[in-house]
């Protein structure tokens, strides 16, 4: 897992270089569509949350997450004319996701696949257009480089759909992550404290929400921690009652943007209640409001999740080892999950 975390700058660089020139192809595919349907499970579903926020906030299209069981279990017929269906699967071989994409096409959608499984994977073959990420083989069960390259592919998709954002900022993301990895974070104090608790709440909002969901998943997968990923808006609607001396909060935010102030306020509320708050990203403002904090790569808000998850991955890997768990092979999990 640690080695694959370290490989992310090159995986991102290769993916961005491969996909950015294909924006016009996707623009043509989506020319007569008006909304986006994102189809995924697990880590890919967390990436899809980022895609939903990014496309709605910057490309001006409605984007929503699919419920694959509508296709695979209920076998409902829905008019998807005018929809661009985007299916995400790291392996490209999860039968439920392939079937749902085929269902979307049969119901009138244009289809795009995002996968690391290769151009000959079932998902890529089923799609009108395939975005094949360039992460290389990922051996550890907890996804790292396949997640961040999915985020990069979704950033290219947003640009193809007309988001007025700077592709140069996306091209700069790998170097920002490389700089973070070259100056190792001091994880020990947070790891020592998290090793003593049964659970944690992980929170972010807007673009950062996807990174919070993904970090919570990683802590569950690799550390067997009861980790709950929540938008801070949802957290404040009742679940914040679970945050106490035995259940700290990890709060994540970009260094700028419309959700930063609320994240800082949430951290203050957590510490004010006697609980510990660990910040990831958010610049000096979030660090000052937290018990402890980890810096994230300096990326603009629209790309922040690509950087925010990296300290979370490093934290997860270190915590797993502290707990005596092999993070590469968590119990009960395999690289490709098939849903019954």
Active site residue 335: yes
Contact 210, 65 (CB under 8 A): no
Residues 46 and 26: their CA atoms lie apart, in Å, by 22
Enter the tokens of residue 255. Answer: 């260094």
Rounded-to-integer distance, Cα 242 and Cα 235, Å:
10
Q: What number of other Cβ atoms are within 10 A of residue 337's Cβ?
A: 14
Q: What are 169's two structure tokens? A: 């900022």
Is residue 320 within 8 Å of 327, Cβ to Cβ?
Answer: yes
Give the CA angle between residues 164, 55, 83 to the nearest 5°.
120
CA dist 124 and 95 (Å) reads: 12
Please provide the DSSP assignment of 40-54 as one string: --HHHHHHHHHHHHH
Give the CA dihedral 68, 70, 72, 74, nearest 10 degrees.
Answer: 160
Active-site residue, from 105, 145, 220, 335: 335
Angle between helices 42-58 and 208-223 (to 10 degrees): 170
Other C-beta atoms closer than 10 Å to the C-beta of 272 total 10
- Rg from Cα positions in the chain: 19
The residue length of the chain stands at 340
- Catalytically active residues are 335
């Amino acid at each position: 897992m640690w080695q694959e975390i370290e490989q992310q700058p090159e995986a991102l660089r290769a993916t961005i270089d491969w996909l950015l020139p294909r924006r016009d192809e996707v623009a043509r595919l989506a020319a007569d569509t008006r909304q986006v349907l994102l189809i995924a499970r697990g880590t890919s579903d967390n990436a899809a949350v980022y895609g939903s926020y990014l496309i709605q906030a910057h490309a001006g299209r409605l984007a929503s997450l699919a419920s694959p069981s509508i296709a695979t279990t209920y076998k409902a017929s829905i008019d998807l004319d005018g929809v661009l269906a985007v299916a995400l699967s790291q392996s490209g071989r999860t039968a439920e996701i392939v079937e749902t994409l085929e269902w979307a096409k049969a119901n009138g959608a244009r289809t795009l696949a995002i996968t690391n499984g290769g151009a000959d994977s079932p998902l890529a073959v089923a799609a009108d257009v395939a975005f094949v990420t360039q992460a290389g083989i990922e051996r550890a069960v907890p996804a790292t480089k396949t997640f961040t390259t999915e985020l990069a592919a979704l950033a290219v998709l947003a640009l193809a759909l007309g988001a007025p954002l700077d592709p140069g900022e996306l091209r700069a993301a790998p170097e920002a992550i490389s700089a973070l990895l070259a100056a190792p974070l001091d994880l020990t104090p947070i790891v020592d404290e998290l090793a003593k608790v049964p659970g944690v709440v992980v929170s972010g909002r807007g673009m950062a929400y996807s990174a919070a969901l993904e970090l919570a998943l990683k802590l569950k997968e690799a550390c067997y921690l009861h980790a709950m990923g929540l938008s801070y808006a949802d957290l404040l609607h009742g679940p914040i009652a679970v945050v106490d001396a035995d259940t700290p909060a990890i709060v994540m935010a970009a260094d700028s943007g419309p959700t930063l102030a609320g994240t800082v306020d949430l951290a203050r509320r957590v510490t004010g209640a006697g609980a510990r708050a660990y910040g990831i990203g958010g610049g000096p403002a979030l660090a000052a409001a937290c018990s402890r904090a980890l810096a994230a790569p300096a990326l603009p808000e629209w790309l922040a999740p690509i950087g925010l998850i990296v300290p979370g991955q490093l934290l997860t890997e270190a915590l797993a080892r502290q707990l005596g768990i092999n993070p590469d092979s968590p119990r009960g999990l395999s690289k490709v999950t098939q849903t019954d």
